[in-house]
Structure 1
Amino acid sequence: MKLNSVFILSILCLLSTSVTAQKLNLVKKKVTLVQVFKEITRQTDYQVIWNEQKLNVDQRIDADFQNVSLPQVMNRILSGLPLTYIISKK
């Protein structure tokens, strides 16, 4: 697929610990993506940055993340969307 036809979302996460060691817990119905991103920051100290033109952060999802790694959470959140993410360490 051509790059100009694919929406790219860059999620930049900054923390010196291993990404796979970070586990998240969030179980909530009809939560906005902004709320999920804030919870990611609260639980992991990773900062989530997104392009508001590419992502509707008011979109609601049913979050069911129990002891799930950050990459697994991001994959579930962006599943079905033509977006990608990047996790970056310091």
Structure 2
Amino acid sequence: MRTVRLRRLGARRFALLVGAMMVTITGCATRGDGEAASQRFELGEVHGVDVGGVFVLKAEQSSDRLVELQGDANLLPLVELDVQGGVLRARTLASTMPQL
């Protein structure tokens, strides 16, 4: 009987810890403002893409070598784009919570 109580207490503590972590993680993220914006960037030769973060990637073959970012106006400055070895890399510089 005593072991069961300790296990329940452990489960409660674990649940509280997970809840506290969720609040902490979401509280540190930059929340999107809901205002739609876009930015265009010209690129050199690219043969691959490496995406890290909260992105939806839409690729379209074209003679233009452009990348267009679309999203919350306040989050676009937090996106870093660079080309290394012909691979376009997209990363967020901070934790974000897009609204669009």
TM-score (norm 2): 0.27
By percentage of residues, which structure has more strand?
2
Which structure has the greater CA radius of gyration? 2
Between 1 and 2, higher relative CO (CA 8 Å, sep ≥ 6) is seen in 1
TM-score (norm 1): 0.29
